Amino acid sequence: MCLAFPAVLKSVDGKRGIVEVNGEERKVKLGFLKVKPGDYVVIHANRVVDTISEEEYLKTMEALQGL
């Protein structure tokens, strides 16, 4: 099974960045997505795979809390 998680992008350095997931910072690869600090993103295997709205981020985090 593959899981992707919502995260908040904290910083960008070229094609790499730092995201926060559940209060923990992780290094990620940004690929070709146009993102900036403060964006809500989805990460999978230490790669940003999509951007999401703040509303979607909050709903997903709430659902994950119930697991």
In the chain, the N- to C-terminal Cα span, in Å, equals 16
In single-letter form, the type of residue at position 24 comes to E
Q: Which residues have CB under 8 Å from 51's CB, separation 6+?
A: 33, 35, 39, 40, 41, 42
* Domains of the chain, earliest start first: 5-65 (2.30.30.140)
Query: Per-residue confidence of the chain (67 residues) as pLDDT tens digits?
Result: 678 999 999 999 999 999 999 899 999 999 999 999 999 999 999 999 999 999 999 999 998 887 7
**pTM of the predicted protein model:** 0.90
